Amino acid sequence: LAERTAPRDLAGRHVVVSAGGTREPIDPVRWIGNRSTGRQGVALAEAARVRGARVTLVGANLEVPGAERAADTLVRVETTAQLRDAVRAAAADADAVVMAAAVADFRPAGTHESKIKKVPGQGPAPLELVENPDVLAGLVRDRVRADQVVVGFAAETGDAAGSVLEHGRRKARRKGADLLAVNAVGAGKGFGTEDNEVWVLDAAGEQTAHAVGSKREVADAIWDAVVKILR
Ligand code: CTP
Ligand code: CA
């Protein structure tokens, strides 16, 4: 029923969605990663397709059955560098790019060719990290088309420095994306769960939408916000 009543307001558009979580190898058997399964990103891809878009999904270590059916093209990646290259290539002719992927902020300064062994009596060697490129910031900075809509995601827990929404507002202003979807994570919210609560903020940090519901309902609320500013 949802499919039959959905508006075809993305017909003729190409949209790019990144989903999942990037992994940065330490050695051939270990990585630094995060808890993202990719379900919100896959829901975004499915929703866009139903609304008529051609969808490129860049999936980082997706743990979603049937993800290949969610998009016209699925590009599977592991690391942040691979994700950046795939997103930028796909974004070249995209009307909108939604960065739903959880991107590792740091990666090991070097990757060991063989498995790191523990040496009896010696503690662990320190793991040196370097910062990853900010894919979203790069898309905003090098906008391939003035009318391309760029959307970021922020998963926040809230802490002593501010609530979920306060962190989201600051991030919206800092990131400069057209829209930032802020969702509360941790303690049974967000990662791997069925229901989500999302605030959509503009580049000034002003709220343009609020949605509570399944990842699919949240996805449609985000596309509603995108459609409003697509030219
Ligand atoms: N992002 C990105 N490249 C990175 C880090 C994040 O493209 N290296 C994108 C994410 O895909 C998301 C948005 O930026 O759309 C916000 O990610 P988040 O981790 O919340 O922001 P950070 O700027 O990394 O801030 P912090 O982790 O310190 O909260
Ligand atoms: Ca981050």
* Section 193-200 average pLDDT: 80
Confidence of residue 184 (pLDDT cuts 50, 70, 90): confident
CA-only gyration radius of the chain, Å: 18
pLDDT at 2 over 60: no
Give, as one character, the DSSP assignment of residue 159: B
* CB-CB contact of 34 with 104 (8 Å): yes
Confidence of residue 163 (pLDDT cuts 50, 70, 90): very high
Q: What is the pLDDT of residue 143?
A: 87
Spatial separation of the C-alpha atoms in residues 58 and 55, rounded to whole Å: 10
Question: Distance of alpha carbon 125 from its chain centroid, rounded?
Answer: 32
Four-residue CA torsion sign, 87, 97, 188, 160: positive
E strand map for 67-206? 73-77, 96-99, 106-108, 129-131, 149-156, 179-184, 195-202
Q: Which two tokens stand for residue 95?
A: 């009307």
d(CA 155, ligand 2 centre) in Å:
9
d(CA 182, ligand 2 centre) in Å:
13
Confidence of residue 192 (pLDDT cuts 50, 70, 90): low
* CB-CB contact of 180 with 151 (8 Å): yes
pTM metric for this prediction? 0.94
Query: What is the pLDDT of the chain when averaged over all its residues?
Result: 93
Q: What is the pLDDT of residue 51?
A: 98
pLDDT at 168 over 70: yes
What ipTM was reported for this prediction? 0.99
Give the angle 145-18-88 at the CA atoms, nearest 5°.
Answer: 40
Which residue is it, tokens 């939408």? 209
**Smallest-distance ligand from the CA of 172:** 1
* Section 49-55 average pLDDT: 98
d(CA 11, ligand 2 centre) in Å:
32
Longest dimension (CA), the chain: 66
Give, for ligand 1, the residue of 103, 107, 159, 199 to mutate: max count of ligand atoms closer than 8 Å to Cβ.
Answer: 103
The residues annotated as belonging to the active site are 34
Q: Which atom of ligand 1 is nearest to the CA of 152?
A: 15
Q: What H or E segment, with its residue span, contains residue 67?
A: none
Going by C-alpha positions, the residue among 102, 222, 88, 104 that lies closest to residue 156 is: 102
What are 144-159's pLDDT values in tens digits?
888 999 999 998 988 9
What are 62-94's pLDDT values in tens digits?
999 999 999 999 999 999 999 999 999 999 999
Spatial separation of the C-alpha atoms in residues 184 and 168, rounded to whole Å: 10
**Smallest-distance ligand from the CA of 153:** 1
Give, for ligand 1, the residue of 134, 151, 226 to mutate: max count of ligand atoms closer than 8 Å to Cβ.
Answer: 134
Confidence of residue 188 (pLDDT cuts 50, 70, 90): low
